[in-house]
Amino acid sequence: MHFLVLGTAAGGGLPQWNCGCDNCKLARIPGSGLRPQTQSSIAVSVDGENWAILNASPDIRQQIDDNRQLHPMALRHSPIRSVVVTNGDIDHIAGLLVLREKQAFELFMTEALAGIIDDNPVFQALDADFVARRTIALDAPFPLLPGLQAALFAVPGKVPLFLEGAEPDIGIEGEQTIGIELKASGRRAYYIPGCAALTASLAARIDGADLLLFDGTLFTDDEMLASGTGQKTGRRMGHMPIDGAGGSLEALSALTIGRKIYVHINNTNPIWRHGPERDTVGAAGFEVGHDGMEISLASDT
Ligand code: MLT
Ligand code: MN
Ligand code: ZN
C-alpha cells in the first residue's frame, strides 16, 4: 500500500484566510521553516497507477497538481478511481465540486453521508452518468480499488457544523463520522481524521495495525480559547486533543501500532513548529504529517 498525504491541515488550512495566529503568520513567510499546508485529504494506491482519495478537500485541485501520481496520463484521464468521505464537513466534501468535469469515478459513503450530499442540489454537478454513488454499510468490507479492501466503521463524532442544532450530540457513534480500514498484501492501515474519543472497541480495532493516520486537530483541548482564536474546546468540535488526560497521545500509546502519524492538524496547533509540544509527540513515537509525505507499506508476504 502506498499513501500520499495530500493535505495535512484541518479545515481552514495553514494559513487560514482570516487568521493571524503565530503559525499562520509564519506560514505566510517564505523560508520561515513553516510551509503552508492544505486541507485534510490522503490518497492511497496498491499499484501506483490507480488511486483512491480519502476525503475531497476544497484544495484538491492544488493537491492533484502538486502530486504527479495524480496527473492525467492522456487527453482526458485521471488515475483517481474512487473517493471516500469520512464525514460531511466542508473540508472533506467541498472538493467533490472540483471533480465535476465528466470524469468517471466511484464515490463511496455511508447512507447518512450520502443523504447530506443528495440533499444539497449543488452536488448534482457530479454527473450521475459518470460518478457512481455507492452506499456502504458500516463494517462491511468492499473493494475500494482492485486489490485494496476497505471497510468503514463508526467513530465518536458529531454532525457537520452546518447541520448542528442548538445542542448537538457530541461523541455519537453512527454513520456521520467514520474511520476507514484498509487491507492489502497482508498489511492493515487506518485513516481516522476526526475522532471525539478513543473508545475501547475502537482501540481494540486499531491495535496491531501497521499504520494509523489520526486526528491531530488540537494539542490541548482549550487551545482555541487560550489562543483567542475561538470559543470552542476541541471536544465540543468533535476532536479529542493530543495532550492531557484522555488525549490521543496517552490513549494510542497503550497500543501496538507500526507508524502513528497525526493529520487534520489545526493551524493553531503548536506541533507544526519545533518546540516542546512537537518534542513530546516525537518522543512518544508519533510523527507529524506534512503535505507531500509518502508512506509505503511493503507486502507482508
Ligand atoms: C472540523 O473538523 O471540526 C470541521 O472541519 C470544522 C469545520 O467545518 O470548519
Ligand atoms: Mn475538519
Ligand atoms: Zn492561524
Nearest ligand atom owner, CA of 232: 1
Q: What's the pLDDT score for residue 300?
A: 83
Nearest Cα residue to atom 3 of ligand 1 = 237
Distance from the CA of 232 to the center of ligand 3, in angstroms? 15
What residues does the ion ligand 3 have nearby, CB within 5 Å? 19, 21, 24, 267
Query: Is residue 169 within 8 Å of residue 160, measured between CB atoms?
Result: no
**Whats the size of the chain, residue-wise?**
301
| Ligand 1 binding pocket mutation candidate from 8, 38, 90 (most atoms within 8 A of CB) | 90
What backbone torsions phi and psi does residue 179 show, to the nearest 5 degrees? -110, 165
Instruction: Give the per-residue pLDDT at 301.
Output: 66
**pTM of full prediction above 0.75:** yes
Compute, in angstroms, the gap from residue 265 CA to the centroid of ligand 1: 11
Residue 157 Cβ inside 6 Å of ligand 1? The answer reads no
pLDDT tens per residue across all 301 residues of the chain? 999 999 999 999 999 999 999 999 999 999 999 999 999 999 999 999 999 999 999 999 999 999 999 999 999 999 999 999 999 999 999 999 999 999 999 999 999 999 999 999 999 999 999 999 999 999 999 999 999 999 999 999 999 999 999 999 999 999 999 999 999 999 999 999 999 999 999 999 999 999 999 999 999 999 999 999 999 999 999 999 999 999 999 999 999 999 999 999 999 999 999 999 999 999 999 999 999 999 999 998 6
Q: How many CB atoms lie within 10 A of CB 275?
A: 10
For residue 269, the ligand closest to its alpha carbon is: 3
Where helices occur in the chain by DSSP H, the ranges are 22-27, 60-66, 90-93, 111-119, 200-206, 223-226, 248-253, 276-283
CA nearest to 39, candidates 78, 20, 66, 21: 66
Tell me the CA distances in angstroms from 91 to 4, 86, 101, one per residue in order.
17, 10, 20
Regarding the beta carbon of 225 and ligand 1, being less than 6 Å apart is answered: no
DSSP 193-262: S--S---HHHHHHHTT-SEEEEE-S-SSTTHHHHTTS-S--TGGGT---SSSTT-HHHHHHTS--SEEEE
Atom 7 of ligand 1, residue of closest alpha carbon:
11
116 CA → ligand 3 middle, Å: 29
Q: What is the position in ligand 1's atom list of the atom closest to the CA of 238?
A: 3
Q: What are the tens digits of pLDDT across the range 130-152?
A: 999 999 999 999 999 999 999 99
* Buried/exposed code over 235-267 (b: 16+ C-beta within 10 A; e: otherwise): bebbbbbbbeeebbbebbeeeebebbbbbbbbb
pLDDT given for residue 142 in this prediction: 98
